[in-house]
Amino acid sequence: MRRAHLDRLEAESIDIFREAAAESERPVLLYSIGKDSSVLLHLARKAFYPSLPPFPLLHVDTTWKFREMIVFRDATARNMGMELIVHRNPECVAAGINPFDHGSATHTDLWKTQGLRQAMEEHRFDLAFGGARRDEEASRAKERVFSFRNAGHRWDARHQRPELWRLYNARTGPGESIRVFPLSNWTELDVWYYIERERIPIVPLYFAAERPVVERDGVLIMVDDDRMPLDAGEEPQLRTVRFRTLGCYPLTGAVCSDATTVPEIIAEMRATTTSERHGRVIDHDRAGSMERKKQEGYF
Residue 187 interacting with other proteins (CB under 8 A): yes
Told to check if 161 binds other proteins by CB under 8 A, we report yes
| Nearer to other proteins among residue 96 and residue 159 (C-beta) | 159
Q: Is 93 in the site for other proteins (CB under 8 A)?
A: no
Given the complex with other proteins, which of 50 and 96 has the nearer CB atom?
50
Under the criterion CB under 8 A, does residue 94 sit at the interface with other proteins? no
* 260 lies in the site for other proteins, by CB under 8 A: no
- Alpha-carbon dihedral sign for residues 100, 102, 105, 108: negative
Residue 165 engages other proteins in binding (rule: CB under 8 A): yes
Taking the complex as a whole, the smallest distance from the CB of residue 299 to other proteins amounts, in Å, to 18
Asked whether the CA dihedral 203, 208, 213, 216 is positive or negative, the reply is positive
| Closest residue by Cα to residue 282 from 226, 219, 205, 191 | 219
Pick 171 or 227: Cβ nearer other proteins:
171
> What span, in angstroms and rounded, lies between the C-alpha atoms of 199 and 260?
14
* 3-class secondary structure per residue, 90-119: HHHHHHCCCHHHHHHHHHHHHHHHHHHHHH
Residue 84 sits at φ, ψ, to 5 deg, of -120, 125
Residue 186 region, left (φ>0) first, then alpha (ψ -120 to 50), else beta?
Answer: beta
Residue 272 binds to other proteins (criterion: CB under 8 A): yes
Report phi then psi at 28, rounded to 5.
-150, 150
What's 150's DSSP letter?
-
Q: Is 154 in the site for other proteins (CB under 8 A)?
A: no
Report the residue number, 19 or 224, with the smaller CB distance to other proteins.
19
172 binds other proteins (CB under 8 A): yes
Of 103, 106, 163, 239, which lies in the binding site for other proteins, with binding defined by CB under 8 A?
163
CB neighbours (10 Å) of residue 245?
19
5 binds other proteins per the rule CB under 8 A: yes
Who contacts 65 (Cβ-Cβ below 8 Å, separation ≥6)? 33, 246, 247, 248, 249
Q: Which is nearer to other proteins, 36 or 135 (CB)?
A: 135
Residue from 218, 216, 213 nearest 274 by CA:
218
Give the C-alpha separation, 80 to 49, whole Å: 12
Among 61, 109, 126, 135, binds other proteins (CB under 8 A): 135
Closest to other proteins by CB, 17 or 64 = 17
φ, ψ (nearest 5 deg) of residue 97:
-65, 130
Please identify, using beta-carbon distances, which residue of 10 and 224 lies nearer to other proteins.
10
Closest distance to other proteins from the beta carbon of 135 (Å)? 5
Smallest gap from Cβ 80 to other proteins, in A, equals 12
Residue 3 near other proteins by CB under 8 A:
yes
In the beta sheet, which residues pair with residue 250?
A: none
Binder of other proteins out of 25, 81, 96, 158 (CB under 8 A): 158
What is the contact surface with other proteins in residues (CB under 8 A)?
1-5, 7-11, 14-15, 18-19, 21-23, 45-52, 134-135, 138-139, 141-142, 157-158, 160-167, 169, 171-173, 184-185, 187, 189-190, 255-258, 267-268, 270-275, 278, 287-288, 291-292
